[in-house]
Amino acid sequence: MIQHLDVDGVPTLLAPTGGPMHAGLTFRVGTADETLARAGITHLIEHLALAPLGLTDYHVNGATAPVFTTFHTQGSEADIAAFLTAVCGHLSDLPVGRLDVEKEILRTEWSSRGSAAVDDIPLWRYGSRDFGLSSYPEWGLGGLTADDLREWTARWFTRENAVLWIAGSRVPAGLRLALPGGVRQPVPAASSALPRTPAYFVSGARAVVLDSVVRRSAAASTFAGVLERELYRSLRQDAGLSYTTTTGYEPRGDGYATLRALADALAEKQDAVLGGFVDVLAKMRVGRIEQADLDATVAKREDFLATGEVDAARLPSYAVNLLTGQPNLTIDEHRAELKAVTLADLHEVAGEVMGSALLMVPGGHSADWAGFVAAPTHSADTVDGTTYRAKQGAGGIRVGADGVTYLRPEGPLTVRYDDCSVMLAWPDGARQMVGADAIVLHIEPTMLDVPAPTLAAIDAAVPADRHIAMPARTPDQIPQPKPVVSEADPSRRSWWEIPVMVLSGIGTLLMGGFCLLLTIGMFAAEESSEDDAWFWGVIAVGWVLTVILALPIVLLKRRRR
């Protein structure tokens, strides 16, 4: 049973455990509360709160997720009390002397992070805001000041916006949570960058991934388990196409949950995996769901609910529910909900899954044949303004009073100033604008005939708090137009031209000389015969061949000239 207590004004959850005591302090703040121009501020504060602790003899950790940040520890009562007391002290008085050091550590952490198959899905669904920010680098780190961090901490890291949870028999003696007062912060509203669903986008990953948003419910959670069983049976056990087939169900904190499924594939089997994956979804969409799969999934959940550590295991999610205003059920209520799930409920969830589906397909493939529409890769409109052509090739940019459009043969890219999430600015004048819909527009002054005053006008039009200064680029990182080579440039001459001209000259001399001798001989003959007509025909053909053999010399000379 989970007890509800209070420690220094912070709601506290306590549950027994048969293992080592562990505890966490969870705040209702995460990456989804940031903006792209300040991305990384919560993660940086988490690092600063832990940095003064250095190496410890017990386990400590921190984690920043889309809607919550947690500080976690495992050890003795004294260790736990010391850790949580210190974290709260550091949050109240941030060790800003380590600000630059921790920024560099976070940049290193990002650069060394491996790319997962699902990393880009949030930006395709949500754009460059709220829940989509987890797809982007922490571009805001460079410009963050100590005052920015103090302001953010005072708003989000407060008593009312926190929950303490402890797996143990009691609250550790000496624990103090010296946090400022504040208010409980709501979960941000989720945006959307998808005009229509079901949709798909192409990725370089060797996997097929489904991302969907469903109403949070026991039926939806159970559906994820049933879908995993069906994918495993179809794609791995029966067809031998995939090694990993997995699903996940993650509440978003606003009454909805993200439901995902993944199946990996070898390059030569991507077609088959994509087809099999879509077949499984279609099968469940029409209600072809096995009762045995439902029973097995429910039985597995009931086994977990029957373990002695179930309350201790539920503490982190229980705390997040409390912070986000979502209901927390007792074990008996969980069991009742699970037993009430029917095949009809799963069929209804399957409809929700397909209705909101975003499918990631491997490169070179599509899913339009299965009823999915391509997620937008260009803008639907352009701005009115002055057009500046590219220095080479087609396209250019159009700069207007309300935004910029990059004109491309494959479709325009438009970012309006008031909808620009961030503008990256390099010292050499390059600019990268990211729209709220995740459209990216890159301006390279070396590649466009854009006057300097126009570039300055773009800078002035984008709100100053969305400018991010980027480090200088090396010369080889700055694109340059390809040099225009004139016809007279010797470097354009192919290696074969000289040999062809030599052979053409030799052929012309031999054939011309032969024809000339025949012609002179015919004119010098004193008597004519019946064979003269034949000889004159041979001579005529010979002169035609001489002209043909001379043509390469003439044409190549003109080309080289």
Given a contact cutoff of 8 angstroms between Cβ atoms, the answer to whether 1 and 13 are in contact is no
Distant-in-sequence, close-in-space partners of 548: CB < 8 Å, separation ≥ 6: none
At the second CATH level, the architecture of 385-477 is Roll (2.30)
Tell which residue, 547, 550, 557, has the closest CA to residue 497.
Answer: 557
Helix or strand or coil: residue 214?
A: strand
Q: 3-state SS string over 515-559? A: HHHHHHHHHHCCCCCCCHHHHHHHHHHHHHHHHHHHHHHHHHHHH
Q: Which residues pair with 246 in a beta bridge?
A: 262
Question: Could you give the 3-state DSSP secondary structure of residue 402?
Answer: coil
Is 425 or 514 the better-scoring residue by pLDDT? Answer: 425
Say which residues have a Cβ less than 8 Å from residue 200's Cβ, sequence separation at least 6.
Answer: 358, 359, 360, 361, 366, 367, 368, 372, 373, 374, 375
Classify domain 199-374 by CATH architecture.
2-Layer Sandwich (3.30)
Average the pLDDT over 265-293 and give the result.
Answer: 95
Q: In this structure, what is the dihedral angle of CA atoms 237, 243, 249, 250, given to the nearest 10 degrees?
A: 170
Residue with tokens 């250095």: 54
Q: Give the residue extent of every domain in the chain.
A: 3-167, 199-374, 385-477, 493-560
CA atoms of 403 and 373, how far apart (whole Å): 27
Q: How far is CA 181 from CA 9, 157, 163, in A?
A: 9, 9, 13
What is the arithmetic mean of pLDDT over 15-28?
96
> Does the pLDDT of residue 495 top 70, yes or no?
no
Same fold flag, 3-167 and 385-477: no
Sole residue written with tokens 């409980």:
184
Residue 41: Cβ within 10 Å count: 24
- Percentage of the chain modeled with pLDDT above 70: 94
Amino acid identity, residue 471?
Answer: P
Does 324 score more than 80 pLDDT? yes
Q: How confident is the model at residue 157 (pLDDT cuts 50, 70, 90)?
A: very high
pLDDT for 548? 81
Label each residue of 421-461 as H, E or C. EEEEECCCCCEEEEECCCCEEEECHHHECCCHHHHHHHHHH
Q: Which CATH architecture has domain 3-167?
A: 2-Layer Sandwich (3.30)
pLDDT surpassing 60 at residue 257: yes
Q: Please state, in angstroms and rounded to a whole number, the distance separating the CA atoms of residues 491 and 451.
A: 33
In the predicted structure, residue 462 carries a pLDDT above the cut 70 = yes
